[in-house]
């Protein structure tokens, strides 16, 4: 292994510019004559818009224009689409009420976009925003996931009676009932998967720039997938030829899913730039991020697990209500269905699984994919069930998992919930994790904690995820409106450096490093000679972007394929230069050699020849610039075991995570340091959900009660222990790199591990997230009183 | 934020006159509450009188049996000051636990007590240690200074210049921080010294208050055991998303014991 090749912990190339303040984010970009947008947002969770008087705002200093939903309607601007059609249990498509960029008839959540003011400065726009008079007719609101379907609940959309978006099933209910009828024991849990606010470090921003000379637009946006944004805006929202829009997503400071989607603000900035004939910029302030970024999670679930007398799983039934918020965000419908219920087999051989998911509308911000997207919710269901089952059956939690693991010789393994796992070794990860945490020593550590007045607990999470999203034909058959392949263009420059154009998008993941290692290693060139270009639809082949831990497994595979094409073309050129037949030319570490001779040519020499083809094979085109599109054959299935150990102070209810072991199987690893960083960040987000974070809307008014960092509690370094990370490896069988993806694992595994540890410490079966100090204190006291 | 006139006077007198000359002037100290309030457009003062250039408001000195902290001294400066650490380590500990590093580097003692946020730490220090607030017009005992939620005894235009803390024999501060904001959900200062034996509680109620049961219990010696059974009623305590009044009442007892242990 070279110091910069595959498998090396190369320091991140991109960090120099980020750490020295030289990153270039959307808000750093300014265009001549640029104006600023301020959005007038609904202060009410649910209200009719009876009229909007914009004359005072229009007359205010510095104001160029004020637009409302009526202005966009007059221009035939369409609805923001939801790109995944979920068919309900009767085969009917989900209810898809319109989601206009500026509300037309009603405002449906606090923060809903009602008007936009365009002015010479942001302050002028905001000042004038206060002068826009909106005549609201306040309506009753419903914000709770558990109350949205109540008869008499406020109705959000005429198109969705009873606030039901869909009632969807997966699996055979009768078979599941039959399995349950044979059960020795049935474990039942009621779970709330708390709503989260993504909180990317960089708020969303957009800059729309219309060019009258060519009648075309450039949109700078904080997007995780600029090509997809372009496709949605052109094909669905504006009815615009795709050659008339260029989307640029420059450096982006975190997304976690929330920047996948097509939002109202960027749509309005683009549209308005043509109306006012000037570039229009908007950058969210943090309050707007809280109210209007797509939120995550928000499920209520009743789940049951049937077992025989040995704790062998016979069947699972899961009943979930998922909150979609007020409108359907771009991929919202797929999250609690195809990204959730399909993962309910976990790492286990549960033969029959039945899931019923009802998606509901409520007067809250839209909910969509957030780091893990459906898979954390599934893992939470499975791993809470398994833990409670172990306690009820009196079986050690590690042992009950072992008894039910899919065994290495069972792969490929067809689960009862549609997915086919290609490979894994779940016991290997568990065994390593048990060793690392010193499971045998836990009883001693628990006793030591007890003598200090603390309650110690240990919790497991054996998670699996479906990543490398996704085989296009499969997702197409499930309702996706897009293919989920990825593209890569690998271009040798004449003097030997390489530019790689990838449809993946980095917003913190370290692609510039990992992809460079992959290319440098494959082509045998110095890593400094590789440049990774992403985020500009004007210079990169159509690509699908970054989410679902897909960048390396799908985007990296495309890069690998493009490198293969480069090598194959180069081999022909090298053969010509060395006067050998192509079959006799070998390639290794950047050099072509004629087998059995001392003739050799470096790939850089070949590249130069390709651009200066004075001595060149007749049947080969000049240039060395290859593009590949890679459509995965299957999902990848990263899996592993996380073990959390906590100590609780019963006098305050404070939970301290005292140890955390993560053993993950991500397949082949390109950069272990980058992978470890991803694992750390994922665990931090998962612990955030389990202990700290909670998005709360007032049940009656629908006001967001956790609208700032004063009340919305983000995890911080001192909330977390030093993670101990280990790897096991079963290489993915169906992509050229053997990689699986690592970006979401921590967030998927951590919530269940944390809650399993806390409930273990307290000697109880269940509690809801987040495990706030007061909640834990009350439960600890109840246990103490019960004992006395 | 809305536009305002910005003044940066070089003396206390100049600050007072800038303030009196303004329609609706406000004092800007460290700005840790005022600036976010302005940015959210929740306040629109005509003038801001920035005390940052007045050298005499900054710094810490020993004066007789007291440690005197200038009003514009930052929390970070108090936390690391050698005199404070030597004479009143509980005060240094309290300052070190305020907010986060950025807040401690900008926020000031004068700004904090003038705002009198019910969840701020300093009110517990002032009342618990029996401090005196010095202004450009007079001296005010801490017991009389904090009059209610976000209310103080300060007159319009009155400027805090310093806070004098009598050096205690023993003092300890324990805080249960809001996990989101790191304000005090409950903070308890226990002290005994020239100002008597005093226990002050912040965060739990609408305004800092003294806990007389605890003060009596500690009269014959400062220890956690002495206050083990001191309780407060949940009635009248704050209740919010993070902590009910019942939980706060429990935390008052726990933090009281910890503060007493730290002082003892």
CA distance to A774, B146, B183, B246, per residue, from B178 (Å): 11, 22, 5, 16
pLDDT given at position A786: 85
Pair A363, A447 in one domain: yes
Q: Tell me which residues of chain A have a C-beta less than 8 Å from any C-beta of chain B.
A: 126-127, 287, 651-653, 692, 696, 705-706, 709-714, 719, 772-774, 777-778
Locate the chain A residue with the closest alpha carbon to B251: A652
Query: Which residues are within 8 A (CB) of A293 and not within 5 positions of it... i.e. 6 or more apart?
Result: A197, A198, A200, A204, A258, A284, A365
- Structure token pair of residue A77: 């601007």
Residue A475 resides in a domain:
no
Grouping H, G, I as helix, E, B as strand and the rest as coil, residue A425 is: coil
Pair B237, B121 in one domain: yes
Nearest Cα to A569, choosing from A515, A615, A617? A617
Pair A535, A499 in one domain: yes
Block residue for tokens 């797509």: A294
Question: Is the pTM above the cut of 0.95?
Answer: yes
Pair A405, A457 in one domain: yes
Pair A281, A319 in one domain: no
Locate the chain B residue with the closest alpha carbon to A695: B241
Locate the chain A residue with the closest alpha carbon to B40: A287
Pair A622, A553 in one domain: yes
Residue A158 resides in a domain:
no
Backbone angles phi, psi at B223, to 5 degrees: -160, 160
Pair B33, B141 in one domain: no
CB-CB under 8 Å, B179 with A719: yes
Name chain A contacts of B256, Cβ cutoff 8 Å.
none
Q: Which residues in A328-343 are b (16+ Cβ under 10 Å) and which e?
A: bbbbbbbbbbbbbbbb
Pair B220, B253 in one domain: yes
Grouping H, G, I as helix, E, B as strand and the rest as coil, residue A171 is: coil
Element (H, E) at A356: strand A353-361
Reported in sequence order, the residue ranges of A537-683 that DSSP labels E, i.e. its strands, are 585-588, 591-594, 600-602, 625-630, 639-649, 654-665
Pair A524, A456 in one domain: no
**Are β-strands A47-53 and A106-107 bridged in parallel, bridged antiparallel, or unpaired?**
antiparallel
Please write the tens of the pLDDT for every residue from B35-64: 999 999 999 999 999 999 999 999 999 999
Backbone angles phi, psi at A108, to 5 degrees: -120, 0
Query: How distant is the Cα of B15 from the closest Cα of chain A, in angstroms?
Result: 28
CB-CB under 8 Å, A712 with B247: no
Query: Which residues are within 8 A (CB) of A375 and not within 5 positions of it... i.e. 6 or more apart?
Result: A339, A340, A343, A463, A465, A466, A744, A748
Name chain A contacts of B41, Cβ cutoff 8 Å.
126
Q: Which among B180, B244, B251 is the nearest to A652, CB-wise?
A: B251
CB-CB under 8 Å, B181 with A774: no
Residue A574 resides in a domain:
yes
- What would the mean pLDDT of B73-102 be, rounded to a whole number? 98
Q: What gap in Å lies between CA A439 and CA A600, rounded to an integer?
A: 56
Element (H, E) at A462: strand A455-464
Block residue for tokens 């708020």: A203
Residue A189 resides in a domain:
no
pLDDT given at position A172: 95
Pair B65, B42 in one domain: no
Name chain A contacts of B181, Cβ cutoff 8 Å.
709-711
Query: How distant is the Cα of A711 from the closest Cα of chain B, in angstroms?
Result: 6
Q: Which residues in B162-172 are b (16+ Cβ under 10 Å) and which e?
A: bbbbbbbebbb
Pair B66, B43 in one domain: no
Query: How distant is the Cα of A263 from the closest Cα of chain B, in angstroms?
Result: 23
Block residue for tokens 């010696």: B221
Residue A188 resides in a domain:
no
Q: 10 Å Cβ neighbour count for B153? A: 16
Point out the domain boundary residue: A571, A605, A630. Answer: A630
CB-CB under 8 Å, B241 with A705: yes
CB-CB under 8 Å, A696 with B243: no
Which CATH number does the domain housing residue A749 bear?
3.30.365.10
Q: How many CA atoms lie within 13 A of A627 on its CB side?
A: 11
Pair B154, B193 in one domain: yes
Name chain B contacts of A705, Cβ cutoff 8 Å.
241
Angle at A705 (CA atoms; ends A702, A708), nearest 5 degrees: 135
Residue A550 resides in a domain:
yes
Pair A641, A753 in one domain: yes
Residue B69, beta-bridge partner list: B60, B163
> Is B44's Cβ below 8 Å from some Cβ in A?
no
- What would the mean pLDDT of B145-154 be, rounded to a whole number? 98
Pair A593, A721 in one domain: no
Pair A681, A624 in one domain: no
Q: Please list the ranges in chain A whose pLDDT falls under 50.
A: none
CB-CB under 8 Å, B180 with A719: no
Angle at A146 (CA atoms; ends A141, A149), nearest 5 degrees: 65
Q: What gap in Å lies between CA A647 and CA A689, rounded to an integer?
A: 18
Query: Which residues are within 8 A (CB) of B181 and not within 5 positions of it... i.e. 6 or more apart?
Result: A709, A710, A711, B99, B119
- Structure token pair of residue A664: 């993950």
Point out the domain boundary residue: A593, A609, A630. Answer: A630
pLDDT given at position A1: 62
Q: What gap in Å lies between CA A559 and CA A579, rounded to an integer?
A: 30
Could you give the number of structural domains in chain B?
2
- Structure token pair of residue B249: 């009442």
Query: How distant is the Cα of A380 from the closest Cα of chain B, in angstroms?
Result: 24
Asked if residue A460 lies in contact with residue A643, where contact means CB atoms within 8 angstroms, the answer is yes
Could you give the number of structural domains in chain A?
3
Pair A312, A218 in one domain: no
Q: Which among A710, A774, A777 is the nearest to B180, CB-wise?
A: A710
Pair B108, B184 in one domain: yes
Query: How distant is the Cα of A710 from the closest Cα of chain B, in angstroms?
Result: 4
Please write the tens of the pLDDT for every residue from A707-752: 999 999 999 999 999 999 999 999 999 999 999 999 999 999 999 9
CB-CB under 8 Å, B242 with A710: no
Pair A448, A554 in one domain: no
Pair B226, B250 in one domain: yes
For residue A760, the enclosing domain spans: 299-469+634-787
Nearest Cα to A655, choosing from A750, A765, A760, A776? A776
Locate the chain A residue with the closest alpha carbon to B249: A652
Residue A446 resides in a domain:
yes
Pair B259, B175 in one domain: yes
> Is B247's Cβ below 8 Å from some Cβ in A?
yes
Point out the domain boundary residue: A612, A630, A648. Answer: A630
Which CATH number does the domain housing residue B125 bear?
3.30.465.10
Give the end-to-end CA distance of chain B in Å, rounded to a whole number.
48
Pair B111, B24 in one domain: no
pLDDT given at position A200: 97
Distance of CA A351 to the CA centre of its chain: 29
Pair A698, A782 in one domain: yes
Residue A643 resides in a domain:
yes
Pair B144, B103 in one domain: yes
Distance of CA A196 to the CA centre of its chain: 13
For residue B91, the enclosing domain spans: 57-263
Pair B145, B259 in one domain: yes
Query: How distant is the Cα of A772 from the closest Cα of chain B, in angstroms?
Result: 8
């Amino acid at each position: 292994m070279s110091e910069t090749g595959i498998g090396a912990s190369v320091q991140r190339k991109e960090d120099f510019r980020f750490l020295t303040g030289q990153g270039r984010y959307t808000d750093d970009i300014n265009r001549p004559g640029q104006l600023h947008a301020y959005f007038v947002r609904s202060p009410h969770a649910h209200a009719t818009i009876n009229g909007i008087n914009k004359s005072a705002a229009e007359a205010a200093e510095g104001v160029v224009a004020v637009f409302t939903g009526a202005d966009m309607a007059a221009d035939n601007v369409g609805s923001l689409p939801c790109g995944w059609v979920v068919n309900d249990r009767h085969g009917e498509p989900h209810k898809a009420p319109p989601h206009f960029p500026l509300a037309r008839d009603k405002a449906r959540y606090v923060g809903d976009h009602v008007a936009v003011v365009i002015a010479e400065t942001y302050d002028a726009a905001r000042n004038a925003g206060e002068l826009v008079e909106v005549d609201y007719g306040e309506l009753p609101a419903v914000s709770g996931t558990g109350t949205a379907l109540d008869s008499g609940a406020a109705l959000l959309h005429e198109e969705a009676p009873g606030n039901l978006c869909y009632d969807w099933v997966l699996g055979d209910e009768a078979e599941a009932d039959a399995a349950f009828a044979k059960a020795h024991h049935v474990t039942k849990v009621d779970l709330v998967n708390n709503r989260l606010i993504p909180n990317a470090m960089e708020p969303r921003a957009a800059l729309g720039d219309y060019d009258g000379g060519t009648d075309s637009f450039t949109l700078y946006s904080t997007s995780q997938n600029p090509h997809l944004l372009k496709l949605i805006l052109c094909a669905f929202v504006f009815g615009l030829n795709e050659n008339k829009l260029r989307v640029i997503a420059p450096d982006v400071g975190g997304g976690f899913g929330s920047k996948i989607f097509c939002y109202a603000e960027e749509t309005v900035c683009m549209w308005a730039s043509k109306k006012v004939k000037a570039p229009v910029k908007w950058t969210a302030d943090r309050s707007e991020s809280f109210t209007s970024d797509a939120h995550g999670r928000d499920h209520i679930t009743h789940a049951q697990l049937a077992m025989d007398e040995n704790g062998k799983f016979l069947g699972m039934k899961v009943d979930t209500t998922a909150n979609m918020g007020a409108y359907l965000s771009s991929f919202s419908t797929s999250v609690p269905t195809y990204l959730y219920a399909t993962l309910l087999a976990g790492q286990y051989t549960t033969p029959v699984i039945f899931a019923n998911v009802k998606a509901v509308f409520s007067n809250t911000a839209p909910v969509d994919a957030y780091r893990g997207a459906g898979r954390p919710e599934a893992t939470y269901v499975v791993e809470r069930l398994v833990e409670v089952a172990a306690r009820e059956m009196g079986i050690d939690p590690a042992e009950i998992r072992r008894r039910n693991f899919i065994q290495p010789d069972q792969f490929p393994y067809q689960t009862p919930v549609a997915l086919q796992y290609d490979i894994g070794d779940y016991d290997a990860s568990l065994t390593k994790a048990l060793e690392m945490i010193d499971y045998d020593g836990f009883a001693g550590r628990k006793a030591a904690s007890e003598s200090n007045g603390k309650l110690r607990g240990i919790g497991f999470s054996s998670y699996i995820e479906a990543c490398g999203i996704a085989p296009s034909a499969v997702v197409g058959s499930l309702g996706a409106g897009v293919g989920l392949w990825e593209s890569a263009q690998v271009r040798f420059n004449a003097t030997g450096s390489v530019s790689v154009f990838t449809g993946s998008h980095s917003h913190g993941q370290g692609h510039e490093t990992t992809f460079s290692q992959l290319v440098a290693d494959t082509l045998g060139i110095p890593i400094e000679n590789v440049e990774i270009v992403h985020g500009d639809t004007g210079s990169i082949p159509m690509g699908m972007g970054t989410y679902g831990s897909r960048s390396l497994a799908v985007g990296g595979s495309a890069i690998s394929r493009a490198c293969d094409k480069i090598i194959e073309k180069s081999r022909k050129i090298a053969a010509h230069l060395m006067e050998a037949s192509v079959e006799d030319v070998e390639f290794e570490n950047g050099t072509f050699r004629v087998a059995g001779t001392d003739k050799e040519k470096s790939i850089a020499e070949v590249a130069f020849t390709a651009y200066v083809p004075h001595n060149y094979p007749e049947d080969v085109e000049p240039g060395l610039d290859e593009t590949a599109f890679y459509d995965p054959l299957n999902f990848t299935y990263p899996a592993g075991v996380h073990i959390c150990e906590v100590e609780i102070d019963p006098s305050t209810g404070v939970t301290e995570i005292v140890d955390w072991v993560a053993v993950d199987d991500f397949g082949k690893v390109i950069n272990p340091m980058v992978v470890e960083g991803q694992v750390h960040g994922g665990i931090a987000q998962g612990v955030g959900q389990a202990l700290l974070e909670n998005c709360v809307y007032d049940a009656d008014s629908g006001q967001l009660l956790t609208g700032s960092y004063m009340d919305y509690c983000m995890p911080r370094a001192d909330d977390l222990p030093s993670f101990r990370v280990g790897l096991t490896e079963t290489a993915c069988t169906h992509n050229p790199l053997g990689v699986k993806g690592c970006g979401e694992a921590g967030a998927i595994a951590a919530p269940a591990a944390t809650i399993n540890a806390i409930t273990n410490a307290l000697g109880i079966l269940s509690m809801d997230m987040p495990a706030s100090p007061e909640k834990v204190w009350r439960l600890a006291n109840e246990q103490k009183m019960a004992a006395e | 934020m809305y536009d305002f006139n910005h003044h940066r006077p070089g003396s206390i007198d100049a600050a007072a006159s800038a303030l009196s000359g303004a329609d609706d002037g406000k004092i800007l100290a460290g700005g840790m509450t005022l600036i976010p309030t302005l940015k959210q457009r929740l306040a629109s003062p005509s003038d801001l009188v920035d005390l940052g250039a007045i050298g005499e408001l900054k710094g810490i000195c020993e004066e007789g049996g007291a440690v005197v902290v200038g009003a514009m001294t930052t929390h970070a400066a108090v936390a690391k000051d050698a005199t404070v650490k030597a004479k009143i380590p509980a005060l240094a500990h309290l300052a070190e636990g305020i907010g986060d590093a950025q807040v401690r580097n900008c926020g000031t003692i004068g700004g904090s007590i003038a705002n009198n946020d019910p969840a701020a730490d300093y009110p517990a220090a002032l009342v618990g240690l029996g401090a005196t607030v010095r202004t450009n017009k007079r001296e005010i005992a801490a017991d009389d200074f904090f009059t209610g939620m976000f209310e103080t005894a300060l007159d319009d235009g009155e400027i805090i210049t310093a806070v004098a803390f009598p050096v205690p024999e023993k003092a300890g501060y324990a805080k249960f921080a809001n996990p989101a904001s790191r304000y005090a959900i409950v903070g308890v200062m226990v002290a005994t010294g020239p100002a008597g034996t005093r226990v002050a509680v912040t965060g739990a109620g609408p305004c800092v208050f003294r806990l007389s049961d605890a003060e009596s219990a500690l009269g014959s010696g400062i220890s956690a055991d002495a206050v083990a059974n001191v309780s407060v009623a949940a009635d009248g305590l704050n209740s919010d998303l993070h902590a009910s009044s019942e939980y706060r009442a429990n935390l008052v007892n726990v933090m009281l014991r910890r503060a007493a242990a730290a002082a003892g």
